Chains A and B, each alone.
Chain A
Amino acid sequence: DAKTTQPTSMDCAEGRAANLPCNHSTISGNEYVYWYRQIHSQGPQYIIHGLKNNETNEMASLIITEDRKSSTLILPHATLRDTAVYYCIVRANFGNEKLTFGTGTRLTIIP
């Protein structure tokens, strides 16, 4: 799986949009970008994934650059409950490949 690079930590004011970047410059054509988060020692939670088009669901939006070498996860209106470690993962979507977690970004929402 391609390697990802994320900032170690970020702060965001409550109610503002949180934009979390991820670099994955060695991504292959058949690899998807996944985002998971882990809220204080709980089990990780799936957020969103995409291949090359931008994606949106009830939790977040995922913006993938045209060359697919980087992406941004957007939480449109961050709340205190969004404080968590966010993991950007690149994964082939055939079979049922394991998830390779990096160190992630620790996002703190400031009241």
Chain B
Amino acid sequence: NAGVMQNPRHLVRRRGQEARLRCSPMKGHSHVYWYRQLPEEGLKFMVYLQKENIIDESGMPKERFSAEFPKEGPSILRIQQVVRGDSAAYFCASSPDRNAYEQYFGPGTRLTVT
């Protein structure tokens, strides 16, 4: 059973470009979380999604950031018009249902904005 997959693992974007980060949850998991880790800081929750629904986006910046988890395909975290402060590691995690106690994390995508 493959783990949580994220791609790309490394992404370089110039200021003003768009970044798209993909997360494929573990097989059978329909709940996805996105977290961001700024350099030398802890992980911060961004958004929690189920298939086709955003459940909690309390950690998402108000502008330029959006997330989706369509019925088919991976979850996408989209950052428009990236700025240097968006440089970070972005991790996604998945779980099988609302009562699961463990979140399984992917290897992360390291975004560098130049």
Q: Are A41 and B89 in contact (CB under 8 A)?
A: yes
Task: Please tell me which one of the listed residues A42, A94, A99 contacts residue B103 in the complex, with CB atoms under 8 A apart.
Answer: A99
A42-B45 contact given A95-B98, A96-B99, A99-B103, CB 8 Å threshold: no
A99 touches B45 (CB 8 A): yes
- Name the segment of A23-31, A61-69, A101-109 touching the other chain: A101-109
Q: How large is the interface on B (under 10, 10 to 19, 20 to 34, 35 or more residues)?
A: 20 to 34
Residues of B within 8 A of A (CB): 4, 31, 33, 35, 42-45, 48, 55-56, 59, 89, 91, 93, 95, 97-108
Size band of the interface chain A makes with B: 20 to 34
> Which residue in chain B gives the minimum CB-CB distance to A38?
B43
Q: Do the beta carbons of A43 and B105 come within 8 Å of each other?
A: yes
Given contacts A93-B99, A94-B99, A98-B56, 19 further A-B contacts (CB under 8 A): A32-B101, A34-B101, A41-B89, A43-B91, A43-B105, A43-B106, A44-B43, A44-B91, A44-B93, A44-B105, A46-B104, A96-B95, A98-B48, A99-B33, A99-B43, A99-B45, A99-B103, A101-B35, A102-B42
Interface residues of A in 69-95 (CB under 8 A from B): 87, 93-95
Query: Which residues on the B side are within 8 Å of A87 (C-beta)?
Result: 42
| A interface list, Cβ under 8 A from B | 32, 34, 38, 41-46, 49, 87, 93-96, 98-104
Chain A residue at minimal CB-CB distance from B104: A46
Residue of B nearest to A42 (CB): B107
> With the chains together, A41 CA to B39 CA distance in Å?
10
Nearest-neighbour CB distance to chain A for B55, whole angstroms, equals 8
Instruction: Report yes or no: B43 in contact with A49, Cβ–Cβ below 8 A.
Output: no
Q: B residues within 8 A CB of A98?
A: 33, 45, 48, 56, 59
- Complex Cα distance, B104 from A99, in Å, reads 12
Can you list 17 residue pairs at the A/B interface with Cβ under 8 Å? A38-B43, A41-B108, A43-B4, A43-B107, A44-B91, A45-B105, A46-B103, A87-B42, A93-B99, A94-B99, A96-B55, A98-B33, A98-B56, A98-B59, A99-B35, A99-B93, A102-B42
